[in-house]
Amino acid sequence: GVGWERETIKDDWPGYSLDLFTYPEHYHDDIESVYIPHGVIMNRTERLAHYIMNDFQDDNIMVLCVLKGGYKFCADLVEFIKILGRNSNKYLETRVEFIRLKSYLNDQSTEDLHIIGCQDLSFLRGKAIVDTGKTMKALLKHVETFEPKMVKVAGLLVKRVPNMAESLTDYVGFEIPNRFVVGYALDYNEYFRDLNHICVISRTGKMKYKI
């Protein structure tokens, strides 16, 4: 079996030096360190796929991907689930739907959560789903109204904040300090999504892309 192991990134983790990795030239002055390298993200995501395969046995999986920040994680997670299925002759049907949430301005969470697109989730009725992303509570409430058979939440990152979303998240990639990170589809005002690693923004980057 696959036992649950948590991966916790400590408060004082400075990240890796930029000199160790490659990243887009146009962000040269805008990032301070590589917080979680792409390869580590991929390995951890493969491990989460193992947990999920274990839990779902022969239920099909309806994946609800939370855009935009969740698209990389979702795509990679689903791919690993499919590969594991191929290698173990346990083929689960995976279907992906998308929902778009927006709540951040600059590096601050705002009060208003916008659910954009795909509000009719009736395809979930009687289905087991895995959900990826953050801003989860409001979404879960919405999802539950469609009465899926089982709902599981996968989040690549869970931040250590007073009301941690951890209890809502069944599959956690990394528990991290409460700091703002970008890359691997996570943005700062729509910038940095094209960065493969999860990184910490520099002061210059914060100023440059501030609204």
**Where on the chain is the footprint of ligand HPA (CB under 6 A)?**
69, 104, 134, 180-182, 186-187
**Cis, peptide link before residue 82, omega less than 30° from 0:** no
The distance of closest approach from Cβ of residue 143 to ligand HPA in the complex, given in angstroms and rounded to an integer, is 19
Angle at 34 (CA atoms; ends 33, 38), nearest 5 degrees: 170
Selection from Mg ion, ligand HPA, none that 197 binds (CB < 5 to 8 A by kind) is none
| Residue 130 and residue 48 in contact, taking contact as beta carbons nearer than 8 Å | no
Give the Cα separation of 73 and 84 in Å (integer).
Answer: 16
If the CB atoms of residues 128 and 198 are measured against ligand HPA, the closer one turns out to be: 198
CB of 180 to ligand HPA, least distance (A): 4
Q: Which does 13 bind (CB under 5 to 8 A by kind): Mg ion, ligand HPA, none?
A: none
Residue 3 dihedral angles phi and psi, to the nearest 5°: -80, 155
Spatial CA neighbour of 195 closest among 174, 176, 178, 209: 209
Q: Can you name the residues that pair with 85 across neighbouring β-strands?
A: none
131 is catalytic: yes
For Mg ion, the closer CB: 13 or 104:
104
182 binds, among Mg ion, ligand HPA, none (CB under 5 to 8 A by kind): ligand HPA
Inter-residue contact 35 to 15 (CB < 8 Å): yes
Chosen residue from 21, 98, 104, 123 binding Mg ion by CB under 5 A: 104
Name the minimum Å distance from CB 137 to Mg ion: 17
Q: Is 187 in the site for Mg ion (CB under 5 A)?
A: yes
Which residues carry out catalysis? Answer: 131
